[in-house]
Homo-oligomer: A and B are copies of this chain.
């Protein structure tokens, strides 16, 4: 049961972080905010995914609870329901900035460009008091709307008001918007990142590789496993990863060993790393990926993974013995 639960936790850690790293890469330095709580699978995912996203480079979360528990920056905008609760959109904006003067105002409840005009109207009314940080587009043709919104805002001397986009975004949609020259400064990403929708699970498994001091394998059709305690040795050149060698733990091959001991006898061997340390390590690792692995559109980019001589020898020996 314990090993099954550890694999369950990998889904809200490694899986969530992997998807988020792709979204962050596609956003090319623009702000990325997690909007996904309502589509995540339950409360545990709702807490741990925002943390995994943040480690992978997502700037902030709209989940106030996750922000509070893990110390993740919280960025929210406003809900359609707030606007719907008022007699007019402009009146809703007026009321909202009384409580949140530096808000990102949601402009698509009735008509996106009219919404932008209401923000401009509010700027005229408030004068020097106007501190609205941005507008959020949440529907329609965002490439076209973001350009028109930018023009309207710039013409009203509101270049400092940023444009934020949300609504069914994933790494591919973000890349397409930026390739189209959309002047978008930040992205709110929900369902697709929250569920890693195009790859919704990691095919993790738990198999025995050593027992009672001797190596073990499994030969099942298409699902065989390699024997022995492992280490992964990663070779790099000029700061870019070249290949990984999967070897035995006692081998001493070239390259950086990736696996380290964090638990012994059921206890951590040291204190956990801070979120900042995790973020820096993740950033460095992504930076080390070969360029072709960072291309979102290439479905099967090759990365060389070889077995060490020792591991190959041990495996052949055991397979022979079992057959």
Within residues 191 to 213 of chain A, which ones have a CB less than 8 A from any CB in chain B?
Answer: 191, 194-197, 200-204, 206-208, 211-212
Q: Is the CB of A84 within 8 A of B11?
A: no
Interface segment, one of A33-41, A126-134, A300-308? A33-41
Known: A109-B218, A219-B109, A221-B108. A12 touches B80 (CB 8 A): no
Confirm or deny: A231 has a beta carbon within 8 angstroms of a beta carbon on chain B.
no
Chain B residues with CB below 8 A from A140, complex form: 220-222
Please give the distance in Å from A321's CB to the nearest CB on chain B: 11
Interface size on A, residues (CB 8 A): 63
Known: A1-B64, A191-B203, A194-B201. A84 touches B217 (CB 8 A): yes
Please give the distance in Å from A173's CB to the nearest CB on chain B: 15
Confirm or deny: A228 has a beta carbon within 8 angstroms of a beta carbon on chain B.
no
CB-based closest 10 A-B pairs = A42-B44, A7-B38, A41-B41, A140-B221, A84-B208, A42-B45, A195-B200, A44-B44, A81-B208, A43-B44
Rounded to whole angstroms, the CA-CA distance of A196 and B208 in the bound complex is 29
Rounded to whole angstroms, the CA-CA distance of A207 and B85 in the bound complex is 10
Rounded to whole angstroms, the CA-CA distance of A37 and B138 in the bound complex is 35
Chain B residues with CB below 8 A from A45, complex form: 8, 41-42, 44-45
Known: A37-B5, A201-B39. A206 touches B79 (CB 8 A): yes
Chain B residues with CB below 8 A from A138, complex form: 220, 223
Chain A 68-85, CB-CB to B under 8 Å as 1, else 0, gives 000000000001110011
Confirm or deny: A94 has a beta carbon within 8 angstroms of a beta carbon on chain B.
no
Chain B residue nearest to A214 in the complex (CB): B87
Rounded to whole angstroms, the CA-CA distance of A41 and B11 in the bound complex is 5
Rounded to whole angstroms, the CA-CA distance of A206 and B79 in the bound complex is 9
Chain A 1-19, CB-CB to B under 8 Å as 1, else 0, gives 1001101110110011000
Chain A 56-68, CB-CB to B under 8 Å as 1, else 0, gives 0000000111000
Confirm or deny: A243 has a beta carbon within 8 angstroms of a beta carbon on chain B.
no
Rounded to whole angstroms, the CA-CA distance of A63 and B1 in the bound complex is 8
Please give the distance in Å from A280's CB to the nearest CB on chain B: 25
Confirm or deny: A139 has a beta carbon within 8 angstroms of a beta carbon on chain B.
yes
Rounded to whole angstroms, the CA-CA distance of A279 and B30 in the bound complex is 48
Chain B residues with CB below 8 A from A46, complex form: 5, 8, 44
Confirm or deny: A146 has a beta carbon within 8 angstroms of a beta carbon on chain B.
no
Chain B residues with CB below 8 A from A197, complex form: 200-201
Confirm or deny: A100 has a beta carbon within 8 angstroms of a beta carbon on chain B.
no
Q: Is the CB of B211 within 8 A of A84?
A: yes
